[in-house]
Amino acid sequence: MTDAEGPEPDLLRRALVELRQELEARLGGDPAPGSGRGPVDWMELFEGLRRRLSTLGMSERSGEVDEFGMDEVVVRRTEPLLDFLLERWWRIDLPGIEGLPAAGPCLLVANGSGLLPYDGLMISHAVARHHPAHVRPRFLVADWLITLPFAQPFLARLGGIRACRENAQRILQRGGWAVAFPEGVKGAAKVFRQRYRLQRFGRGGVVRLAIESRTPLVPVAVVGAEEAHPVLFKLRTPARAFGLPFLPVTPTFPWLGPLGLLPLPSKWSIRFGEAISLAHLGPEAATDELQVQRLTAELRERIQALLEQSLAERPSIWG
């Protein structure tokens, strides 16, 4: 469980404070020994340790979450890590981010890639960092992942939502932003040789949703996430024991154990396309299947084109 129980961290913290006072009493009076290198700053070390301890297991969460379970405090505490991933680890380029709609609800539609929802997390964080209105889009997560033990509480605190029509509708109706991956589990489960080839776009739910809620659609192409967890092949039989749809085999995953879950530092780019406005269509267009199909195909082509563009501009996987 991610949560540490109440009393222990408190006890430990108090013990540390006492230890610190003790140390201060013993060392504080002494001048530093006259040797060449400076004394170890015990005080600082202890302060750091104490701070670290308090964040262990997210023990300092707020007592409030929003209606989908996102915890502002957890998000704020995770921001340094997300910044690190965004700027250092994957060195993400964000072409087209300045063209995002300035206000109002918006539905970002991206290609699904990578097993874990790093792509959703990164799109959401990049928009929160660079958009003038500081909106933090909520990313929709496929069922099999959000209902996985341990993943669910964690993803929900960071703003992940189960991908379903009602949830997306509710977000958009309240003027929020959402990131959808219409390929669904098909997109996440691609093996390495199918990378950057878009799969079927569900049943047109994204377009129907945008028409009904009169929300602009923004095509987004994520390049690099496929290489963060290159899936060589999928095992189906052992996966059933864990209740997963498949067990991925990556160059690192089952071999290095949990360490294999660390994503590789590939160079990413998240390219935002021009917003597609569907405001001219009336709500009756949502039931016009042919129209929805046509728009879905158009959206898919736009994302594929953005993908091709990003791939052509990228010098190598590691950039």
Partner 1 sequence: MELTGAIAITGLRSFLGTRLAERLLQRAPGLRIVGLDLRRPYRLEGSVRFHRVDLTDPTAAARVAEVLEREGVEVLVHAAFRRDPSPDVEYDHELETLGSLHVLHACSAVKVRRLVVASSTTLYGPWPDNPNFLSESHPLRGHPAAHNVRNRIETEELLAEWRERHPETDLSVLRLCWIMGPSHWDRVSAHFARPAVTTVLGYDPLLQFVHEEDALNALERATLERHPGVFNVVGSGVLPLSTLLRLAGKRSLPVPAPLWYRLLRWPLQGATGDPPEAFYDYLRYLWVADGERGWAAFGEPVYSTKEAWISFVSARRLRRYR
Of the two residues 86 and 161, which places its CB atom closer to partner 1 in the complex? Answer: 161
For residue 267, give the DSSP letter. -
The pair of three-digit structure tokens given for residue 221, joined into one six-digit string: 């192409």
Within 8 A by CB and 6+ apart from 297, the residues are none
Q: By three-state DSSP, how is residue 144 classified?
A: helix
Report the sign of the C-alpha dihedral through residues 297, 140, 312, 232, in that order: negative
Helices and strands, counts by H and E, the chain: 13, 8
- Interface of this chain with partner 1, residues 137 to 156, rule: CB under 8 A: 143, 147, 149-150, 152-153, 156
| Site residue total, partner 1 (CB under 8 A) | 27
Alpha carbon 92 to its chain centroid, in Å, reads: 13
Query: Binding to partner 1 by residue 167, rule CB under 8 A?
Result: yes
Q: By three-state DSSP, how is residue 195 classified?
A: coil
Alpha-carbon distance 50 to 48, whole Å? 5
Of the two residues 63 and 80, which places its CB atom closer to partner 1 in the complex? Answer: 63
- Closest distance of CB 1 from partner 1, Å: 4
Residue 119, Cβ density class (10 Å: 0-12 exposed, 13-18 middle, ≥19 buried): buried
Of the two residues 156 and 198, which places its CB atom closer to partner 1 in the complex? Answer: 156
Query: Binding to partner 1 by residue 258, rule CB under 8 A?
Result: no
Of the two residues 215 and 269, which places its CB atom closer to partner 1 in the complex? Answer: 215
Query: Binding to partner 1 by residue 6, rule CB under 8 A?
Result: yes
Of the two residues 156 and 231, which places its CB atom closer to partner 1 in the complex? Answer: 156
Beta bridge partners of 248: 234
- Closest distance of CB 213 from partner 1, Å: 15
- Interface of this chain with partner 1, residues 264 to 283, rule: CB under 8 A: none
- Closest distance of CB 72 from partner 1, Å: 13
Query: Binding to partner 1 by residue 14, rule CB under 8 A?
Result: no
Q: By three-state DSSP, how is residue 194 classified?
A: helix
Q: Provide φ and ψ at 180, rounded to 5°.
A: -115, 150
Alpha-carbon distance 220 to 109, whole Å? 6
Of the two residues 145 and 295, which places its CB atom closer to partner 1 in the complex? Answer: 145
Of the two residues 70 and 109, which places its CB atom closer to partner 1 in the complex? Answer: 70
For residue 287, give the DSSP letter. G
Alpha carbon 190 to its chain centroid, in Å, reads: 18
Single out the residue of 30, 44, 166, 284 in contact with partner 1 (rule: CB under 8 A). 166
- Closest distance of CB 68 from partner 1, Å: 5
Angle at 43 between CA 40 and CA 44, to 5 degrees: 80
Binding mask 45-74 for partner 1 (x = CB under 8 A): ----------------x-xxx-xxx-----
- Closest distance of CB 181 from partner 1, Å: 17
Of the two residues 74 and 228, which places its CB atom closer to partner 1 in the complex? Answer: 74
Residue ranges that bind partner 1, judged by CB under 8 A: 1-3, 5-6, 61, 63-65, 67-69, 143, 147, 149-150, 152-153, 156-157, 161-162, 164-167, 170
